[in-house]
Structure 1
């Protein structure tokens, strides 16, 4: 088990964890629910266009499902499967979900063709989903509502065409209510959370005011990922 470095508490009172290097490569484990997840995605969001399959997997096999925009939902979607194959290491006594998958909502014209996937300006949301999906299992920890992870230490922008450098997990407001949970059996229910990238100033705002303080500023935004979207902390910090 990977030990966390001593935690630091943010100004909002929330713990900040720094993780040591994860264990080396581990064979794939867990209960595969690919077919059930695929059916769930198509029942609520529309047909899956293609799937980004991992050729080599570490501990869990992470697939990323691609969905094109349609009449009901004018977005490109990325949805993981495989993160939920293993239960996360949720604190004892917590009622937080133990099985999670992730969704990213992108503009309808986001490029997902093979050539564009070689360009980090288009590929980084896929990379981000795969990293987050594997993170709690490699680090023997958990992710849930309001958790945020920076892109490195110190954080770096995800790509050259954006200043976004971290992400927070929140319920998607661009999907139907029935999509948020998938009951597999009596003991396993999969929850789906959206990955919402943040600017450095928004990350700082969350550290100062907590998730609720950040979400107060997000009131008129949804979980659509746009590399140059409005920075909700811009006015507060006066940096631009």
Structure 2
């Protein structure tokens, strides 16, 4: 049976539920970036998914800028019958340095790509009839191109945020919502995952203490001794 999106009143309850839980984890949002593109330029308008991106500034609880989505879990993803996709609900986040300017009027791909990736990935499972989960990697095109002009990072890895003890939220219906962090990767790191598997990549990242905080200048761990 096809998963149906929540009704508007239920969707509002979902946003409030997720926001309350995320505030306990990362602090309150300073503002929310609403997806209000008109239907003629928005190929996913038929999905009836209300997607927001919440921007949480650095605070005593968490000295980084945190962006997270609400709306991906408005509709259950189409997970495989093997159960590896969990309950089929997820939300996304990305952690940026405190100095990274993300405001409603921010312009420039080198600053706004985190917002674009959150928005596109949150819509992707419902647009493509698939799912997102732990260990998935997504290149920026084929062949992978840099995410922006100021970095060689060329794709992302989805992982539970390493800084959270329990990277899971609860849906209003009681089901768990997987919270997945976007970890930008170099092209060779994407290749490492394809060739040797997710465990090899994660082990390599952990060896050099890679965190979830985006560093556009970080070194490629496959080139480190």
Above 0.5 in TM-score? Answer: yes
More helix by share: 2
For 1:209, which of 196, 218, 221 is the aligned residue?
A: 196
- Aligned residue in 1 for 2:27: 46
- Aligned residue in 2 for 1:198: 185
- Judge conservation of contact 1:53–1:62 (CA < 8 Å) in 2: yes
- Judge conservation of contact 2:17–2:171 (CA < 8 Å) in 1: no
Shift of 1:189: 2.2
Shift of 1:95: 4.5
CA distance in 2, matches of 1:47, 1:225: 20
Shift of 1:86: 0.7
**TM-score between the two structures when normalised by the length of structure 1:** 0.81
**More moved, 71-80 vs 227-236:** 227-236
Shift of 1:137: 0.7
CA distance in 2, matches of 1:179, 1:135: 21
Q: Secondary structure at the match of 2:54?
A: strand
Structure 2: state its 5+ residue gaps.
38-43
Aligned pairs for 1:9-158 within 5 A:
29-30=5-6, 32=11, 33-56=14-37, 58=45, 59=47, 60-97=49-86, 98-115=88-105, 117-158=106-147
- Judge conservation of contact 2:95–2:213 (CA < 8 Å) in 1: yes
Shift of 1:29: 3.5
- Aligned residue in 1 for 2:41: none
Is 1:185 aligned with 2:178?
no
- Judge conservation of contact 1:44–1:178 (CA < 8 Å) in 2: no
Aligned residues: 206
CA distance in 2, matches of 1:216, 1:191: 21
CA distance in 1, matches of 2:190, 2:217: 16
CA distance in 2, matches of 1:34, 1:195: 20
**TM-score between the two structures when normalised by the length of structure 2:** 0.86
Q: Secondary structure at the match of 2:93?
A: strand
Is 1:226 aligned with 2:215?
yes
For 1:164, which of 153, 163, 166 is the aligned residue?
A: 153
CA distance in 2, matches of 1:105, 1:180: 16
CA distance in 2, matches of 1:75, 1:65: 14
- Judge conservation of contact 2:156–2:183 (CA < 8 Å) in 1: yes
CA distance in 1, matches of 2:34, 2:220: 33
Shift of 1:93: 3.3
Shift of 1:62: 1.4
Q: Secondary structure at the match of 1:227?
A: coil
Shift of 1:170: 0.3
Give the 3 Å change call, closer, same or farther, for CA 185–165 of structure 1 in structure 2: same
